[in-house]
Structure 1
Amino acid sequence: MNKFIGPEKIIKKKKNFLFPCSNHFYKNPPQIVRGEMQYLFDSTGKKYIDFFAGVSVMNCGHCNSEILNAAIKQMQKLQHTTTIYLTEPIVNLAEKLSILLPGNIKHSFFCCSGSEANEGALLLARLYTGKNNFISLKNSLHGRTYLTMSTTGIPMWRTDPNLDNSITFVQNAYNKDKPLDVSAAESLNEIEKTIKHIGSKNIAALIAEPIQGNGGIITPPSWYFKDLKKLLEKHNILLIIDEVQTGFGRTGKMFAIEHYDVVPDIITIAKALGNGFPIGAFCTNDAIAASFTKPSASTLGGNPVSAEAAISVLNYIENNNLCERAALLGEKLKNELIKLKEKHLIIKNVRGLGLMLGAELVKTDGTPATEETDLILELLKDKGILIGKNGIDRNVLAFQPPLVINEDNINNLINKLDIVLTNLKL
């Protein structure tokens, strides 16, 4: 029988050997030791339904045998050579992605993470346009590299005190005190004013998440990105869409931007593409790709193992209709959360698409229910349910499960969340 060191010793080793910036959920955290599709197990054998999927990574489920077998088979043949040698998996993956990516996007540059992918997309925009500045939305999260941290609009993730000053932040499509359409219109108006102020000749691109995950599952209205794209095209400014957290079936479509009927100039992907294997990419069309001619490489990006795993992920999503599944189960989960909103005053708003949903929690005096959010996560964990939290004030419950969950899992979650909210002392 396996022997595990347990949570206390792990926390002690974290303090001794990791950086103090490395935090964890829960006052009494479990040691997670095993995963099986939508379930996780801790060192005591306790079973949890995972409703966070490692932050939208495990879309195809934990330890999915089809994906693992493809990776293991490749690992036994050829594990690594780097991109300066010819291997087949990386080009096969790029070809498959070219079919799935929106519109005329067909070229991919592979790397190892979402941060790398966004950094590469920003570089590409500068190379193609010859311009230096960027526009980003408040409440955004684009990475932890220098330039992606500079384009991140969430204060807690802007760790470097001396970030790049070529980025201008504008209001996103949400204001807690105004209707969504009004907030979105104000966002576009501010973007237009910013373009006039800085000058379109200086702005390379605007970068945005179709749904702001860490920002609080902020979901713009259906017309927002179409109007945004028209505005940017008018001023010869590129649109970079960050699908790192929203891609690969999460929202009920392969990519969340498809809900908005818009083809971005550059799109970034990572997380769920590898279903746990490190891989990311920035992707674009013929014209923009042609501008990236100076030598560049990624030592581990798109290596044979990650590439084969990613191909298997794409096949699994298609063969098991995970996009359609996410849409249907997401509608059920959202409807059930709305019912809880009608019953429990602490839930101010339920938003999102597919299986990327958030419930914003606010106290009776209108202030963010941040402490209550932590308590709810703790109590649900004790009841065998793992969910996430996000938002500027960390007061949004995040529901981003593996797309292989079932209706019983949703009913279980809703019943236990209802009990926790009923017993919550406000």
Structure 2
Amino acid sequence: MQKFATSLNRLTTAKDQLFRRCRCYSQLAQRQSSAEESGESGVRVPILPAFDYSPPLYDGPTAEEILKKRKEFLSPSMFCFYKKPLNIVHGKMQYLFDENGRRFLDGFGGIATVNCGHCHPDVVQAIIKQTTTLQHSTILYLNHSIADFAAALAAKMPGDLKVVFFTNSGTEANELAMMIARLYTGCQDIISLRNAYHGNAAGTMGATAQSNWKFNVVQNGVHHAINPDPYRGVFGYDGEKYAKDVEDLIQFGTSGQVAGFIFEAIQGVGGIVELAPNYLPPVYNSIKKAGGLVIADEVQSGFARTGTNFWGFQNQGIVPDIVTMAKGIGNGIPLGAVVTTPEIANVLTRRNYFNTFGGNPVCTAAGHAVLKVIERENLQENAHVVGSYLKERLTALKDKHEIIGDVRGRGLILGVELVTDRKLKTPAKTEILEIMEKMKDLGVLVGKGGFQGNVFRITPPLCFTKEDADFLVDAMDYSMSKL
């Protein structure tokens, strides 16, 4: 009798879930119908593009159950988007699904991480194949996975950038890059940019320049230059005037010799701020005269995301001495890397440098698969074409809604800054939360960033289509019209 009752409960639960699933898939038609019935003339509710895929039924814990456990056992510093946090249980290409089977367009890509698309079959198969063969050994033994991926990655780099150090994250990659620069030059001073974000470990927190992300711990040896921000910066789009501040910092804030300069071609956490044109070439020259190395942080802008080039720094025509990367390198697998020249890399032979999980065969197999997918599916070209189209539509939206102060970025790393007063550029910190909630209710997920938290971060998977772009903009337009 007990077994029968248990089976009946399971069957009832499955039916309830199936009912919710069917109800969720028809919600868009219901929403459109209700809008028409309410007499909202001229207002059309955006409709999710068609997607021929149904996720498996979810029978795991509910959002409420997970939230309760998270509050008890996980870090209190963790936070969620939305008033009612989403329980995302499944992903497929540019879409995510919640516990009820509701589909969302992913305009955030796990913070510019999912480049190929959620659960891309080629990446998944590479992971499964390597996991069933060898999940982990150590770099003290030979394994072709790490060597093959390093060679493929080096082939995507310009100049003599061909020696690869694998890490587990972008923070770790930037820590290693800064240490290499200090060892190679014999200097300690690093120049970074205000509004930058390079990680939250000891050294990278020093290079990060937003108080939101900095704890009151010892952070020394880093100088922060004026940010070449075309929208909020004092010199607008004049990159050369901003570059003069780096030269002044070297002359008046250091011994005249520096270890290096670290930068993001497009600042992600800082609100998708693209460095002013013609900024990097004169800065590069100033750093070289001071004996330093130039470090490009490509954690968010790398791996074809900018569309016009594979790496963000290439958009300003320089070749750095060190390049760091993570996020899109593994499509969600924990993986990062530092790439530099043989001469510079040699400094780590002065002592033992070792990383237990850096170069893990499963992670590097995934990374290699990601490179192949980007090439085979022309995702860089797609990022350029769809990203340009999306930016044009967002820019046109600016003419309609006064709350949009700026639209920026390139490819599929775009930012929309919201302000309550365009002249004063007053951050719309409250309004952006309301718009995000409305967009989520329509089925669109986007990120939020900038020092004041008033910038939409749009960094979707690179398989995004023009239909997806239209839906995202229409949802934003509709949500803003409801303020």
Q: Structures share a fold, TM > 0.5?
A: yes
- 2: distance between equivalents of 1:179 and 1:419? 35
Aligned partner (choices 355, 370, 382) of residue 298 of structure 1: 355
Structure 1 position 389 matched with structure 2 position 448: yes
Q: Does 2:296 match 1:241?
A: yes
Contact kept? 1:149, 1:163, Cα under 8 Å: no
Look up the equivalent residue of 2:272 and give its one-letter code.
Answer: I
Matching residue within 110, 113, 123 for 2:179 = 123
Separation (CA, whole Å) in 1 of partners of 2:68 and 2:258? 47
1:106-255 alignment to 2 at 5 Å? 106-159=162-215, 161-174=216-229, 176=232, 178=234, 180-182=236-238, 184-199=239-254, 201-252=256-307, 253-255=309-311
Of the three residues 366, 372, 377, the one matched with 1:315 is 372
Q: Counterparts of 2:159 and 2:430 in 1: how far apart (Å)? A: 44
C-alpha distance in 2, partners of 1:101/1:46? 40
Gaps of 5+ in 2: 1-56
Give, in angstroms, the shift of residue 102 of structure 1.
Answer: 2.5
Alignment correspondent of 1:416: 475
* Structure 1 equivalent of residue 23 of structure 2: none
Deviation at 1:200, TM superposition (A): 5.1
Deviation at 1:391, TM superposition (A): 0.4
Q: Which structure 1 residue ranges, 5 or more long, are not aligned?
A: none
Write out per-residue CA displacement over residues 295-346 of structure 1, whole angstroms, 9 at most, x where no aligned residue: 1111011111111110000000011111111011110000000000011011
Distance apart, 1:366 and its partner CA:
3.6
Aligned twin of 2:381: 324
TM-score, normalised to structure 1's length? Answer: 0.97
| TM-superposition CA deviations, 1:24-77 (whole Å, max 9, x none) | 111112200000000000001100000000001100000001001011001111
Counterparts of 1:298-377 in structure 2, within 5 Å, are: 298-364=355-421, 366-377=425-436
Q: Is the 8 A contact 2:58 2:89 kept in 1?
A: no
- Answer yes or no: is the 8 Å Cα contact 2:193–2:226 preserved in 1: yes
In 2, distance between residues paired with 1:285 and 1:227?
22
Q: Provide the aligned C-alpha RMSD in A.
A: 1.3
Partner deviation per Cα, 1:346-383 (whole Å, 9 max, x = no partner): 10111101100001100036420011111111111111
Distance 1:49 1:391 in 2: 22
Matched with 2:48 is none
| Larger mean Cα displacement after TM superposition, 163-172 or 399-408 | 163-172
**1:75 paired residue among 128, 131, 137:** 131
- 1: distance between equivalents of 2:254 and 2:212? 30
Q: What amino acid is aligned across from residue 437 of structure 2 in structure 1?
A: E
Say which is worse superposed, 411-420 or 200-209, in terms of deviation.
Answer: 200-209
Q: Is the 8 A contact 1:40 1:47 kept in 2?
A: yes
Change in CA separation of 1:241 and 1:135 when aligned onto 2, cut-off 3 Å: same
CA deviations 1:191-220 (Å, max 9, x no partner) are 111100133554201111111011111112
C-alpha change, 1:299 and 1:177, in structure 2 (3 Å) is closer
* Higher RCO (CA-CA < 8 Å; seq separation 6+): 1
CA drift of 1:402 comes to 0.1
SS in 2 for 1:28: coil
Q: Distance in 2 between matches of 1:137 and 1:397?
A: 21
Identify the range of structure 1 (43-52 vs 193-202) with the bigger mean alpha-carbon deviation.
193-202
Partners in 2 of 1:268 and 1:417 — Cα distance?
33
- Kept in 2, the 8 Å contact 1:173–1:185? The answer is no
Tell which deviates more after alignment, 45-54 or 8-17: 8-17
Q: C-alpha distance in 1, partners of 2:390/2:288?
A: 37
Moved more, 378-387 or 193-202: 193-202
**Kindly tell me: are residues 187 and 177 of structure 1, through their superposed partners in 2, closer, same or farther at Cα, counting changes over 3 Å?**
closer
Query: Higher mean Cα deviation, 362-371 or 48-57?
Result: 362-371
2:254 counterpart letter in structure 1: G
% identical aligned pairs:
41
The answer to whether residue 145 in structure 2 is matched with residue 86 in structure 1 is no
SS of 2:150 mapped into structure 1: helix
In structure 2, the residue corresponding to 1:169 is in which secondary structure? Answer: strand
Deviates more, 1:197-206 or 1:317-326: 197-206
Q: Is the 8 A contact 1:200 1:235 kept in 2?
A: no
The CA deviation at 1:4 is: 2.9
- TM (normalized to structure 2)? 0.85
Establish whether residue 258 from structure 1 lines up as the match of residue 314 from structure 2. yes
Corresponding residue for 1:35? 91
State whether residues 38 and 404 of structure 1, in contact with CA within 8 Å, keep that contact through their aligned partners in structure 2. yes
Q: How many residue pairs are counted as aligned between the two chains? A: 422
* Matched letter for residue 209 of structure 1: E
The whole-number CA distance in structure 1 between the counterparts of 2:385 and 2:235 is 26
Distance 2:90 2:74 in 1: 22
The answer to which of 119-128 and 285-294 deviates more is: 285-294
Tell me how far 1:178 sits from its aligned partner: 4.4
SS at match of 1:33: strand
Separation in structure 2 between the aligned mates of residue 235 and residue 167 of structure 1, nearest angstrom? 15
Q: Distance in 1 between matches of 2:478 and 2:256?
A: 56
Read off the aligned partner of 1:362 and give its amino acid letter. Answer: V
